[in-house]
Structure 1
Amino acid sequence: MKISYECGPCFLRQAKEALDLSTDDEALKMEIMGDIFKFLSRNFESGTNSNSTGSAMHKMIIERTGCRDPYYNEKIQGNEIALRYLPEVEKILRDDDSLENYVKISIIGNILDFGAFTLDDDIESVIRQSLKKDLVIKDVEEFENALKTNDKVLYLVDNTGEIVFDKLLLNKIKDYDLDITIAVKSQPILNDATKKEALEAGLDEFGEIVEIGCGTVGYVDSEISQEFREIFNSHKFIISKGMGNYEGLTEIDLQDKDVFFLLCAKCNTISKDIGVNLHDMLLFKR
């Protein structure tokens, strides 16, 4: 997906947060922020890819500060929030074990995103409100048909914390007797899940965990490894979690694939691109 003018302040907010989490050196933060201004002045224009721009900015912060995982504590916090709500969502699924409800719970997990929310946002309140909402776009029938007619699926996970709720959907998918491959980031970026967090959450119970070969904001086709490209190309059925993967996958040709996007629209640029309202929860094929 291409950037909009609203991506500008979002890039700067993320840069400030990542810098504050990476170092206490005020002089270094001033220097790096100045370089980010220069980088954006050269690259922030219509037609620029949003994921590539954000990835380059975060890579700059990581390399200059030497902090390889700025959101380490926030990822722990995300897991703690998800685990706190797990009994509540499991009760909901006992009362209604429909595929749609499993999808909805998985999407609610997508709220745990420190790339879209600020560290001061009341994320727990957003989760409580979302539990009462319905999916705005719900291609559930097509999704279930894909589960029934394919023998394997590639599941692109998104955030730590969110993956706790992904486990519930993955367990439901196992009922359809598919081989599941679970794709994670190779290096830390924001609060995205790496293999370490995926293993800690127990995702390997449901399928093989593979790395995409890079640590980028969402999916960046030019950055993935050849090994993962072969895995990606071998799958017709793909489940894509989160906004970052949506932004990246809509940049490439998916004509021969059944790709289902599961996400919460957490920014105006994404909302406008899809044609929904802010904070709407969606399951759609595109």
Structure 2
Amino acid sequence: MRIHPECIPCIIKVRFREISQHISDRGEMLKAFSEILRIVAEYVEKDVPNPVIAMHAFRYVKEITGLDDPYSDYRRKANKYALKFLPYAREFIEKADDSYGRFRRACIVSCLGNLVDPGVAGYKFNPKQWSEMLEGSNFRLDDTKRAFELMHGKHILLLCDNSGEIVFDRLLVEILKENECSVT
């Protein structure tokens, strides 16, 4: 996987936003922005993958801000919103007619959890849109039937990377366990 040119401005914009939220001194901000540009340029020249560039730049943000988790406030709020929405998501899943339908709806809910991602430039998560998205959600490519057929009795590895996401993934884990899957 190589860096795509259109990814470079996104990486920079997200890191700039993180710095701006935690540093108010103009001079310190300019110094930090300059270093972000240097870091990104260094790794772009080496043609390393996007996530590696973003990781190195994010490590610098953590260093310059002195914060182990620059998103701690965001995560707290996202988890709070997700927990408020949890009963609606559970009801949405339980309204399905059969085991496959519940699995499919749990997959939809799990995917909606991925919307809680502050690391995307130009995207602002709005929790008020969750219920609208839930009822109108569908997969462009829907392999849930095949996944459902293959999953029984299997071991499933579930990766969670966004704040708020685990709240919804928990519902999917419940459905997987109902279908005799072990989940890590």
The match for 1:98 among 91, 97, 102 is: 102
In 2, the alpha carbon distance for the partners of 1:124 and 1:26 equals: 32
Counterpart of 2:40 in structure 1 is 40
Corresponding residue for 2:148? 144
Contact 2:112 2:130 in 1 (8 A): yes
2:3–2:48 CA contact under 8 A, matched in 1: yes
The offset of 1:122, in angstroms, is 5.0
SS of the counterpart of 1:37? helix
Pick from 151, 173, 177: which aligns with 1:174?
Answer: 177
- Residue 73 of structure 2 is matched in structure 1 by 73
Query: Structure 1 CA distance, aligned partners of 2:129 and 2:44?
Result: 31
Q: Which runs of 5+ in 1 are unaligned?
A: 182-286
Structure 2's unaligned 5+ residue stretches are none
Runs of 4+ in 1 over 6 A off after TM superposition: none
Q: Deviations over 1:91-122 (max 9, x none)?
A: 21121152111101110111111112557x35
Give the number of equivalent residue pairs.
Answer: 179
Structure with greater Cα Rg: 2
Larger helix percent = 2
Kindly indicate which of the two structures has a greater share of residues assigned to strand: 1
Is the Cα contact below 8 Å between 2:153 and 2:181 reproduced in 1?
no
C-alpha root-mean-square deviation of aligned residues, in Å?
2.1
Identity between Structure 1 and Structure 2 (%): 23
Equivalent in the alignment of 1:113: 117
Shift in Å, 1:11: 1.0
Match of 1:4, SS state, is: coil
Residue equivalent to 2:19: 19
Following superposition, the deviation at residue 141 of structure 1 comes to 2.4
Q: Which residue of structure 2 aligns with residue 7 of structure 1?
A: 7
Q: TM-score, normalised by structure 2?
A: 0.87
Residues 14 and 115 in structure 1, CA contact (< 8 A), matched pair in contact too: yes
